[in-house]
Amino acid sequence: MLKRLFFLPLLFIFTMLCFTEANAQRILGAVSLGMNLTQVDGDDFFGFHKIGLNVGPMVAVPFGRKKNWSVSMELLYSQKGSFHNGAVDSTTYKLVQDYAEIPVLVHFTDKKLVSGGVGFSYGQLINYKETSNSFYDKVYVEKSDLSNYDFSIIGDFQIRLWSKLWANFRYQYSLMSNRQVTVEVPYSYPRVQNVQQQYNNVISIRLTWVFNQEKISKRPKQQSGVETF
């Protein structure tokens, strides 16, 4: 199942990239590299302190009368999780989740300079590691197994920096709980236990290079009746 998840989108993306030269106006190929700033809502630790990798190829198909709309699909290696560095007498906790992720988005691009998009993503958990170091026996009283799947909603913004290089800012949030945990309120008496659902909360900062994107044409300016560029 996992091999098929990797192979089919990867085959599709690289097949599309092979035809980008002949279909430059119809299919765009790109690759993105950047980082995730992540936290897990529902783990009682706050802040986007977990840093992970976000990298992978993309294909996009422009459409519409002016070709300023596009639909894209990516195949990403994306690291998510949570990190809390406690003091000497408190909990130090780290959750690392490695996903193979397939985002599908629809974008609108204005004047070939800025672009905004929304979409969904399917993530397959390929590896995870959870560690804690504290004076307490457990971080959670109880916890279910992590889900093997992560379905997310995405908001995306891009701005063109130079030539075919774009800066990409993305926000992503899980639509379904990744697992259920039971936490104990330490200052309550008698002790109160709360059942909480956990969700991945991700901010991505990336650079994207579009291989076969056309350059921005410079508009001529009128100065004393003479066109300048």
In the CATH scheme, what is the code of domain 2-130+150-174+201-228? 2.40.160
Tokens representing residue 78 in the block: 């994306």
Domain edges within the chain:
2-130+150-174+201-228
Tokens 């170091």 belong to 133
Query: What integer best gives the mean pLDDT of the chain?
Result: 84
Tell me, what's the pLDDT at 229? 29
How confident is the model over 184-211, as pLDDT tens digits?
A: 876 667 778 889 999 999 999 999 999 9
Q: Is 10 helix (H, G, I), strand (E, B) or coil?
A: helix
| Residues of the chain scoring pLDDT < 50 | 1-4, 19-24, 220, 223-229
pTM above 0.75, yes or no: yes
Report the run of H or E that residue 16 belongs to, with start and end.
helix 2-18
Other CB atoms within 10 A of residue 199 CB: 19
Residue with tokens 């901010």: 203
* Measured distance CA(19)–CA(22) in Å, rounded: 6
What is the percent of the chain where pLDDT is above 90? Answer: 58
Q: Which amino acid is at 93?
A: Y
pLDDT computed for residue 24 by the predictor: 47
- Write the pLDDT tens digit of every residue in 14-51: 555 554 444 445 789 999 999 999 999 998 888 999 99
Cα separation, 27 vs 21, whole angstroms: 9
